[in-house]
Structure 1
């Protein structure tokens, strides 16, 4: 098993970022069956009730989330859009084994991710603003004002020192094409990281 670097977890951690409506969950769902079995997709824990149209995730209320965080249940956690998000600590062993982990994270989580993972790769999924508004509105969960407020809260993409990327995927056309691009990119990153171990 590779040693940690500067106390950080060794092994490729692929952080997928992008604004709401960019199609991150859809691309991850389409790509997953086409990637090697040793590439692990992180299942997030969120302080939101599970919804059919949303990503498949585990749910905790605020109190339970804070308790789990104190108990070391997460290898990475952050807050965004009034919710708390966590990635299970079980991912550490997979990553330390030299296998890639793919996780949908907030841009605000990249700094903490870089502090925790020695081989951080950032993939940004993008789309034009008008398309973001259209996609978020189609979910039917937010008013026009809430959508504008959500997009206004987006922060600039700041790649931490030592991280790789950003690698950009344009999801303004056919989502199947963007998913295929994502598969090729993740396979390449995982292959290169394995060769470097």
Structure 2
């Protein structure tokens, strides 16, 4: 059996990564051989948010010490982990999509060197407007975030795709789906997935 492949999705604050992945999940047909890796996060579950495994910060640290995670990282004061069982479908020939972190990509590559990095981003103006609209940071802090986002490049040799989420979510979602469909071995090529017409927003 051919091994599956990890699709590691990442992006800067303001890129709309979570919204875009929600769109993709809604527009892939079911049943679907693409497995969505559930994350374990050290925060409470939020209505309408990601269906993650919620644990306390203390429990997260204990799980990490018990080597319960295949991958784990910290961002914005929270711990993020992916249990081994969530990546087990790779050995069964399935593709796995993971909502990851740009900062953790080198470590993920060390574990899964053939992963595909999907960099979801947007123009500087759009990033700036979206982050400012949250009202959580000063203009100087926002500008620093935007400049870091623009300077980011994946490690050399990484198989990567870049998707811009500047306009309507449905348009960006279709660009993401089209890019995934070009990857060798993506399930659509084997007839496991049937194309759907997206509902543009």
Return the TM-score normalized by structure 1: 0.80
Q: Work out the CA distance in 2 between the residues paired with 1:95 and 1:84.
A: 24
Q: 1:157 to 1:120 in 2, by over 3 A?
A: farther
Q: Work out the CA distance in 2 between the residues paired with 1:117 and 1:30.
A: 26
Q: Work out the CA distance in 2 between the residues paired with 1:96 and 1:12.
A: 9
Q: 1:99 to 1:147 in 2, by over 3 A?
A: farther
Aligned residue in 2 for 1:20? 13
Aligned residue in 2 for 1:171? 165
Aligned residue in 2 for 1:159? 154
Aligned residue in 2 for 1:5? none
- C-alpha distance after superposition, 1:80-102 (max 9, x if no partner): 22221111211232011221111
Structure 2 gap ranges (5+): 190-201
Structure 1 gap ranges (5+): 3-9
Please tell me whether the aligned partners of residues 37 and 86 of structure 2 are also in contact (alpha carbons under 8 angstroms): yes
Q: 1:161 to 1:144 in 2, by over 3 A?
A: closer
Higher strand share: 1
Return the TM-score normalized by structure 2: 0.78
Q: How does 1:1-197 map to 2 (within 5 A)?
A: 1=1, 11-35=4-28, 37-52=32-47, 54-139=49-134, 142-144=136-138, 148=142, 151=145, 154=148, 156-160=151-155, 162-165=157-160, 167-189=161-183, 191-192=185-186
After TM superposition, give the deviation of residue 119 of structure 1 in Å.
Answer: 1.7
Please tell me whether the aligned partners of residues 15 and 123 of structure 1 are also in contact (alpha carbons under 8 angstroms): yes
